[in-house]
């Protein structure tokens, strides 16, 4: 009797009697429609945080150093004076954009070049930039169906993968970001699909398509490098170490993609010190227990994303238990796929999902730091988990080899996962996930406090320029903004000046304020989940008692 494990080629994993039932058809159609709507909802209301500010600044042809130098002259500005850095016509050439990108070698350039052309057509503003990400995210839905067909010829697996991707709160959140992650998801799926198609057909033009899509993937994220290497190992293992035609063509395709990526790789190597300086946050120490907790959280938010409760509370314990149960379901599906299908099937998702997190975890364990704690770096793993769950249910539905009760049980589990994902995605309509906006999550609350006073003035150091630009999204037009070094700010500050705030002062600036009349008073200091969590604070300058009320 033919079982899934004996399948090693393009054998259709479906039967006419095993197609989508009416329930699954309606359920997945609803997920698809809601996923479409949720990606467009509240697009202009989300916090335009510092990473998105960096996107708009770079495609405008500015470097961070140039923006900081222009703004940090001690002159008073309004929010309208800062917004041209992130919206309006790009005043600089495409060459200036390339130079700005070269000064941030940690970010591969493809998305930013596409975004520049997009804004040239539709305008440079937060809504336009985010709409590009939404469209790229929507294109990934039919692409993942095609990938599943090339992977195991399963219509059911394809539809389930589409449903999971459409409803995932994590992928919906990144679809609303002016960042490269939606493009990365799309190219991960396309390059994976082209690899599988090349294996299935063996045709030269398919291998060329794989090489091209892999090159684009490399030009979207440097973290595609371990994936390309893992896919080469996957091909070698499939052919049991023999130098077959498949290995030769696959190796040539991967080598060609690295050669095409050579120019940017040279920029990365030659500007390694700049890259290290730009990613200094990765090198900050973090305990192993905290890292493990974040790893569990990072995997579970693919379907379960709720506001994180303080540790030790009943709600926190419930969240932890739910996350662990979801991880057990993922692990069970992965083990089922490995035990009951050929290496051609399960080897592909392992080559997709394991290399990036393992590399980041190993770097953290050996060098210290928290590289592996950013959920956006785990996107290949999230795509692999979607394929694992969809593929495992597709395999079970395709064969009478599995008991019907067992099949129904797994259908219920997947239906629950999809329902949880959709519920969390709807809940995120009114909030931004903590992992997404990080330090700028509290911008609306901070801006509300500033806007309440009659003649507000905000002081900040040069390190906070991007945070100020992000904050202008919510500030009223008459707010006065002054950026400069601490000494200069103190020199221009009148002793009895009212309605003056300091945004996220450094310890040095706070010490300088303590040596003058008056005091700094907490206006907004958010609670942190961990001691090193990044979050903006707002402080109010209290005049000395000698000042008159007026």
Please give the C-alpha separations between residue 454 and each of 18, 479, 503, in angstroms, as whole numbers: 67, 9, 18
Average pLDDT score over residue span 418-432: 88
Using alpha carbons, list the distances in angstroms from residue 357 to 130, 175, 463: 27, 21, 30
Mean pLDDT over 520-540 rounds to 83
What is the percent of the chain with per-residue pLDDT over 70, rounded to a whole number? Answer: 91
Is residue 31 within 8 A of residue 173, CB to CB? The reply is no
- For range 7-34, the mean pLDDT: 63
Look at residue 514 and tell me whether its pLDDT is greater than 80. no
- Mean pLDDT (the chain) is 87
Question: Helices 288-300 and 355-367, interaxial angle, to 10°?
Answer: 170
Q: What are 331's two structure tokens?
A: 């692990």
Q: What is the pLDDT of residues 155-183, one digit of tens each?
A: 888 999 999 999 999 999 999 999 999 99
Residue for token digits 């009212």?
498
Specify the pLDDT at position 546. 56
Q: State how far the Cα of 88 lies from the Cα of 545, in Å rounded to an integer.
A: 45
Which pLDDT value is given to residue 235? 95
pTM of this prediction exceeds 0.85: yes
Question: How confident is the model over 59-116, as pLDDT tens digits?
Answer: 988 988 999 999 988 888 999 999 999 988 877 888 888 899 998 999 999 999 999 9
Instruction: Please check the confidence at residue 544 and state whether its pLDDT lies above 90.
Output: no
247: pLDDT strictly greater than 70: yes
Which distant-in-sequence residues (6+ apart) come within 8 Å of 46 by Cβ? 130, 176, 432, 437
pLDDT value at residue 416:
86
Q: Are strands 500-503 and 457-460 parallel, antiparallel or unpaired?
A: parallel
Contact 308, 529 (CB under 8 A): yes
Distance CA 147, CA 161 (A): 10
CA distance 246 to 241: 11
**Sequence-ordered list of residues with C-beta below 8 angstroms from that of 249, at least 6 positions apart, any chain:** 198, 202, 204, 207
pLDDT for the residue numbered 288: 86
Structure tokens at 281: 């946050």
Residue that the structure tokens 């979207």 belong to? 220
pLDDT digits (tens, 9 = 90+) for 406-415: 567 777 778 8
Instruction: Give the SS3 label for residue 38.
Output: helix
pLDDT bin (cut points 50, 70, 90) of residue 12 is very low
Give me the DSSP letters along 499-549: SEEEES--HHHHHHHHTSSSEEEEEE----SSTT-----EEEEEPPTTS--
Q: How much of the chain is helix, strand and coil, in % rounded to 5? A: 65, 5, 30
Cβ contact 41:430 at 8 Å: no
For residue 16, the model assigns a pLDDT of 36
- 353-403 pLDDT, tens digit per residue, is 999 999 999 999 998 888 998 999 999 999 999 999 999 888 877 664 555
- Please give the structure tokens belonging to residue 470: 């992000």
| pLDDT tens digit sequence for 200-242 | 999 999 999 999 999 999 999 999 999 999 999 999 999 998 9
CA distances from 287 to 367, 371, 376 (A): 13, 12, 20
548 pLDDT band (50/70/90 cuts)? low
According to DSSP, the β-strands at 538-542 and 500-503 are: antiparallel
CA angle 476, 479, 481 (to 5 degrees): 135
How much is the pLDDT for 439? 85
Residue 17: the pLDDT is 36
The pLDDT score that the predictor gives to residue 283 is 83
């Amino acid at each position: 009797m033919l079982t899934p494990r004996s399948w090693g080629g393009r054998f259709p994993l479906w039967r006419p009697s095993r197609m989508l039932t009416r329930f699954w058809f309606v359920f997945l159609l609803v997920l698809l429609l809601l996923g479409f709507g949720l990606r467009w909802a509240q697009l202009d209301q989300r916090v335009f945080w510092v990473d998105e500010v960096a996107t708009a600044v770079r495609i405008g042809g500015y470097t961070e150093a140039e923006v900081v130098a222009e703004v940090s002259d001690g002159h008073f500005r309004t929010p309208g004076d800062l917004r041209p850095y992130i919206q309006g016509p790009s005043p600089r050439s495409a060459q200036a954009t390339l130079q700005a990108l070269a000064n941030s070698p940690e970010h591969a350039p493809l998305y930013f070049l596409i975004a520049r052309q997009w804004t040239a057509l539709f305008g440079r503003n937060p809504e336009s930039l985010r709409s590009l990400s939404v469209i790229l995210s929507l294109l990934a839905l039919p692409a993942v169906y095609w990938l599943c067909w090339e992977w195991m010829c399963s219509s059911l697996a394809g539809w389930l993968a589409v449903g999971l991707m459409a409803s995932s709160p994590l992928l919906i959140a990144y679809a609303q970001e002016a960042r490269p992650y939606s493009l990365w998801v799309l190219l991960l799926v396309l390059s994976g699909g082209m690899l599988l198609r090349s294996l299935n057909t063996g045709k030269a033009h398919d291998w060329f398509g794989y090489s091209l899509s892999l090159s684009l993937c490399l030009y979207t994220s440097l973290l595609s490098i371990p994936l390309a290497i893992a896919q080469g190992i996957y091909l070698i293992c499939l052919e049991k170490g023999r130098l077959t035609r498949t290995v030769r063509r696959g190796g040539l395709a991967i080598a060609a993609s690295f050669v095409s990526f050579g120019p940017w790789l040279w920029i990365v190597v030659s500007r390694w010190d700049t890259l290290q300086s730009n990613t200094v946050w990765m090198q900050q120490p973090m305990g192993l227990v905290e890292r493990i907790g974040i790893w569990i959280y990072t995997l579970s938010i693919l379907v379960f994303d709720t506001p994180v409760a303080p540790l030790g509370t009943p709600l926190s314990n419930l969240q932890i238990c739910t996350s662990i149960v979801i991880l057990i379901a993922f692990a069970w599906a992965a083990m089922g796929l490995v035990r009951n299908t050929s290496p051609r099937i399960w080897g592909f998702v392992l080559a997709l999902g394991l290399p990036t997190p393992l590399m980041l975890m190993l770097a953290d364990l050996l060098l210290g730091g928290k590289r592996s704690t950013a959920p956006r770096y785990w996107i290949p793993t999230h795509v692999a988990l979607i394929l694992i769950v969809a593929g495992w249910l597709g395999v079970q539905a395709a064969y009478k080899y599995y008991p019907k009760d067992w099949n129904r049980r797994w259908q219920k589990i997947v239906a629950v996962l999809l329902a949880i994902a959709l519920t969390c995605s709807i809940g995120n309509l009114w909030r931004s996930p903590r992992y997404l906006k990080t330090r700028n999550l509290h911008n609306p609350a901070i801006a509300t406090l500033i806007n309440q006073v009659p003649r507000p003035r905000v002081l900040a150091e040069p390190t906070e320029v991007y945070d100020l630009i992000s904050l202008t999204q919510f500030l009223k037009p008459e707010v006065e903004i002054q950026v400069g070094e601490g000494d200069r700010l103190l020199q221009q500050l009148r002793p009895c000046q009212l309605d003056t705030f300091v945004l996220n002062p450094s310890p040095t600036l706070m010490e300088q304020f303590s040596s003058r009349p008056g005091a700094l008073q907490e206006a907004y200091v958010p609670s942190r989940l961990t001691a090193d969590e990044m979050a903006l604070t707002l402080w109010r300058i209290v005049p000395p008692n000698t000042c008159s009320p007026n």
